[in-house]
Structure 1
Amino acid sequence: MRREVLNDPAITAAELKKNHPALLGNFSVRTIQHRLQISLKLPTRRAAKKPLLTEAMKKKRLSFCKRYRQWTPEQWKKVMFSDESTFRLVRMASTTVRRPSDVSRYHPKYTVKTVKHPDSVMVWSSFSGNKGRRGLYFLPKNVTMKGANYIEVLRDHLLVPYAIHECEVFMQDSAPAHRSKVVQKFLTDNNIPVLDWPGNSPDLNPIENAWNEMKKAIAKKRPTNINELKQALTKLWVEMDLSYFTKLATSMPKRIGMVIQYKGNMTKY
């Protein structure tokens, strides 16, 4: 049974009972769950959510990491890392409540309110390990990011900071707008080399850690409108100091080493 669970970690106790009627038919599902947790030391745990990677994606990730595994922390400090992220106004509420047994579970006080399309903002920013973060730019609402829009962002928020930070290369993910010919020409014309970043690799981009920290903080603050959300995000971003971003940039050798160790698969980052 242990071998079967290790081969299929998502299998349920009910499925195990169905698969092995002779062995487990006389045991309740709860008893099987207890044995898995206590005797076999296989408790149920919340699975980490990671992007699905095809073999081709893993190969590209591995190739990228092997190409840059000799880079030193000092070299990574001269990279201008960038990314967009979406922050939603409505945080995920708890799905459990304490309700008296004589009260309907559908009583408004004890239901979890959901919103189909919570209001949100999308931000873009960048940082280097040399001089830390740049400003937090709020992208226009309901505007699909295309090459022309992205060039405006780069023109207004990258060109000068890139020089001030004394960076030697620019990092952006492989979103379609980023890979468009007009954007590639713009960067080439402005003498900004770009890392050939592999797709579906948020674990390699250290700015994702900053976004995640901000999302946790926003969930606790619970802003009630878009203006409050923007103010809270700006404050959180400004409060992140240089040492934090230096630490993120210089974590790249470890990230790269872990991708190589995992043969292109997702890592803990």
Structure 2
Amino acid sequence: MPRVPAHLRERALVMLQGGMRTENVARAINSNVRTVRNLRQRYRETGRTADRPRSGRPRVTTPAQDWYIRTSHLRYRMARTTARGTPGKHNPSISAQTVCNWLRKAGLRACRPVVRQVLTRHHWPQHRPWAQTHRRWTRQDWQKVIFTDESRLCLTRGDGRIRVYRRRHERYTEACTLELDRFGWGRSVMVWGGVSQHHWTELDVISGNLNAVHYREDILLPHVVPFLQAHPDMTLQHDNATSQTARSVCDYLQDRNVSVLPWPAKSPDLNPNEHVWDLLEWRVRARAIPARNVRELAGAWVEEWGNISQQELTNLVQSMRRRCTAVLNAAGGHTRNTLFHFC
């Protein structure tokens, strides 16, 4: 028999005791006639209108195991890992679905993990003093920096089937994020670009891998050096990729008196270029005619790169002080600005 809400059961009982016919009572509570008859019979036998206890499906886990699932999952965050690690003498083979069902009851939601750079114990101490020093920079100081970065653009995105169960405020915690090294690239193309508050360079499409020779001959020589010669008060920012920290690259920049901003390793949440890549990706994906190959994809990115507005660049550059403060609040770890562009 279908379950009837308690307030409808009481209402039906009052109408039956008042002499109303069973058919009329069923119509009044929007229920089946047989349900009303069973309700009246149950009241005659037990003196109650509540449903009889139902056995249901037997529980697979004990209360102790339920407690262990919740506390253990706050460390591992993957249902399969938690299922394998849950002890049980009577039911050693707890499935991942059982763990997922209980986690939903405990208020943990299944969400896509944030993709982040891998931070080791050597990276955290580098981020904090850098952020502490540059938090004092003014907007005029940041206006004199040209932020550069390279990114790999994918023709198709991953299916995003990896999920972590977390609470609302745990999106950027270490256990709820996914290391970038676990993603593959597929059919893709690499691009490079630089932005400042009032200027931006051309978007360069890189063929093959970006090594030191390629970076010096195809990026620094035709793009960076002419830009900095036209704006001698500007400072170059690039990350600590091996192609950019090679001795030949450093000597090349030093010979041309290029001022380089020291930059901590593995810090995409400090670079506003990451948000530029994300903005362009949304615009390219929203096009009515999607790119069919990597050549069309690169062309779409070049076109959208030229459509960046001045206000968007101003907002990104002026966010640098907030980014430094966020890194300090996170003790050098990942912040809400963590937005690494990936396929």
Q: Same fold (TM over 0.5)?
A: yes
19, 27, 37: which is aligned to 2:86? 19
Q: Which amino acid aligns with 1:243?
A: Q
Determine the structure 2 residue equivalent to 1:169: 235
Q: Residue 314 of structure 2 aligns to a residue in which SS?
A: helix
Compared with structure 1, are the counterparts of its residues 118 and 165 closer, same or farther at alpha carbon in structure 2 (3 Å cutoff)?
Answer: same
Residue aligning to 1:151: 216
Given that 2:195 and 2:201 are in contact with CA atoms closer than 8 Å, whether structure 1 keeps it comes out as: yes
Q: Work out whether 1:217 is the aligned partner of 2:283.
A: yes
Q: Which residue of 2 aligns with 1:52?
A: 118
Deviates more, 1:155-164 or 1:176-185: 155-164
Change (3 A) 1:191 1:148: same
> What displacement does 1:9 show?
4.8
2:76/2:82 contact within 8 Å kept? no
* Equivalent residue letter for 2:128: L
Q: Which of the numbers 261, 268, 273 marks the counterpart of 1:207?
A: 273
CA offsets per residue over residues 102-125 of structure 1, 9 Å max, x none?
xxxxxxxxxxxxxx9743321111
Aligned to 1:122, which of 184, 190, 197? Answer: 190
The match for 2:143 is: 77
2:328 is aligned with 1:260 = yes
Instruction: Tell me the equivalent position of 1:251.
Output: 319
Shift of 1:239: 0.9
Give the AA of the match of 2:124.
K
CA distance in 2, matches of 1:28, 1:54: 33
Structure 2-normalised TM-score?
A: 0.63
Aligned equivalents of 2:268 and 2:142: distance in 1?
Answer: 17
118-127 or 171-180, larger mean C-alpha shift? 118-127
1:137 aligns with 2:204: yes
Distance 1:209 1:165, change over 3 A: farther
- How many Å apart are 1:183 and its aligned residue? 1.3
Equivalence for 1:61: 127
Shift, 1:24, TM fit: 9.3
User: Which residue of 2 is the match for residue 236 of structure 1?
Assistant: 304
The letter of the residue matching 1:198 is P
Secondary structure of 1:187's counterpart equals helix
TM-score, normalization by structure 1? 0.79
Distance verdict in 2 for CA 1:21–1:257, change over 3 Å = same
**Structure 1 position 237, deviation (Å):** 0.5
Would the aligned equivalents of 1:17 and 1:24 in 2 still touch at CA under 8 Å? Answer: no
For 2:131 and 2:90, the matched residues in 1 are separated by 47
1:84-116 Cα shifts (integer Å, max 9, x gaps): 111122344687xxxxxxxxxxxxxxxxxxxx9
Q: Is the 8 A contact 2:112 2:160 kept in 1?
A: no
Distance change in 2, residues 1:12/1:154 (3 Å): same
**Shift in Å, 1:240:** 0.8
Q: SS of 1:65's equivalent?
A: helix
Amino acid across the alignment from 1:213: L
Q: Given residue 178 of structure 1, which amino acid in structure 2 is its aligned partner?
A: Q
Q: What SS does the aligned partner of 1:191 have?
A: coil
Q: Bigger relative contact order, structure 1 or 2, given CA contacts below 8 A and separation 6+?
A: 1
- Residues 82, 99 of structure 2: 8 Å contact kept: no
1:87-126 aligned at under 5 Å gives the runs 87-92=153-158, 118-126=186-194
Secondary structure of 2:190's aligned partner: strand
> Structure 1 stretches of 5 or more lacking a match?
96-115
Partner letter of residue 280 of structure 2?
A: M
Is the 2:83–2:95 contact (alpha carbons within 8 Å) kept by the matching residues of 1? no
The 1-side partners of 2:233 and 2:213 are apart by 24
The SS at the match of 1:123 is strand
CA distance in 2 between partners of 1:62 and 1:133 (Å): 28
**Structure 1 155/263 Cα, relative in aligned 2: closer, same or farther at 3 Å?**
same
